[in-house]
Amino acid sequence: MFDKMKTLGIYTKDFSLYHDLLKVLKNRRIPYVSLSSINHIPSQIGVIITSHSELHDIKSTKVIAADVYDTIDHAVDLALQLLIGKELYSKVFIGIDPGEYPGIAIVGDDILLQKLNVETPEKVVSIIIRYLKEYPATETLIRIGHGSIITRNRIINSLIPLEVPIEIVDETKTTSSQHKKRAEKDSKAAAAIALITGGKVQRRLPLEPTKGDIKRIQEQSRKLSDGRLSISEKNAMKVLRGELSLKQAISEEKTRKKPKCF
pLDDT tens readout for residues 25-77: 998 888 999 999 888 888 899 999 999 999 988 887 789 999 998 889 889 98
Cβ atoms within 10 Å of 161's Cβ, excluding its own: 8
CATH number, position 196: 3.30.420.140
Count of structural domains within the chain: 3
pLDDT at 140: 97
For the segment 194-219, the average pLDDT, to the nearest whole number, is 87
Distance CA 39, CA 129 (A): 38
Tell me which H or E stretch contains 137: strand 137-145
If asked whether residues 11 and 100 sit together in one domain, one would say: no
Strand 111-117 relative to strand 63-65, pairing: unpaired
Distance CA 56, CA 60 (A): 9
| Comparison of pLDDT for 234 and 172, the residue scoring more | 234
If asked whether residues 187 and 94 sit together in one domain, one would say: yes
If asked whether residues 238 and 146 sit together in one domain, one would say: no
pLDDT tens readout for residues 95-139 = 999 987 899 999 999 888 888 888 888 899 999 999 998 899 999
> Is 73 inside any structural domain?
yes
If asked whether residues 75 and 124 sit together in one domain, one would say: no
Going by the DSSP 8-state scheme, the letter that residue 208 receives in this structure is -
> Is 206 inside any structural domain?
no
> Is 147 inside any structural domain?
yes
Tell me the residue range of the domain where 251 lies: 211-257
If asked whether residues 139 and 227 sit together in one domain, one would say: no
pLDDT at 262: 47
Going by the DSSP 8-state scheme, the letter that residue 1 receives in this structure is -
pLDDT at 96: 96
Cβ–Cβ < 8 Å for 35, 63: no
Last residue of one domain, picked from the residues 84, 104, 125: 84
If asked whether residues 74 and 132 sit together in one domain, one would say: no
> Is 1 inside any structural domain?
no
Last residue of one domain, picked from the residues 84, 103, 120: 84
The closest of 39, 37, 45, 42 to 12, measured between CA atoms, is: 37
For the segment 5-11, the average pLDDT, to the nearest whole number, is 88
Cβ–Cβ < 8 Å for 132, 140: yes
CATH number, position 44: 3.40.50
Q: Under DSSP, is residue 62 helix (H, G, I), strand (E, B) or coil?
A: coil
Instruction: Provide the residue type at 248 as one letter.
Output: Q
Alpha helix ranges (H) inside 85-148: 124-134
Last residue of one domain, picked from the residues 84, 116, 133: 84
Q: Whole-prediction pTM value?
A: 0.71
If asked whether residues 173 and 229 sit together in one domain, one would say: no
Instruction: Provide the residue type at 91 as one letter.
Output: K
> Is 205 inside any structural domain?
no
Among left, alpha and beta (phi > 0; psi -120 to 50; other), residue 111 is beta
pLDDT at 208: 79
- Cα–Cα distances (Å) from 114 to 82, 174, 190, 228, 253, in that order, read 14, 17, 10, 40, 39
If asked whether residues 186 and 226 sit together in one domain, one would say: no
Crossing angle of helices 72-84 and 15-27, in 10° steps, is 70
Q: Which residues is 137 bridged to in the sheet? A: 89
If asked whether residues 100 and 138 sit together in one domain, one would say: yes
CA 54, distance to chain mean position in Å, is 29
Helices (H) then strands (E): counts for the chain: 8, 10
Whether residue 233 is predicted with pLDDT greater than 60 in this model: the reply is: yes
> Is 237 inside any structural domain?
yes
> Is 71 inside any structural domain?
yes
If asked whether residues 41 and 99 sit together in one domain, one would say: no
If asked whether residues 145 and 194 sit together in one domain, one would say: yes
For the segment 164-174, the average pLDDT, to the nearest whole number, is 87
> Is 262 inside any structural domain?
no
If asked whether residues 196 and 223 sit together in one domain, one would say: no
The pLDDT > 70 percentage for the chain reads 90
Instruction: Provide the residue type at 167 as one letter.
Output: E
Distance CA 154, CA 164 (A): 16
The closest of 216, 256, 254, 255 to 236, measured between CA atoms, is: 216
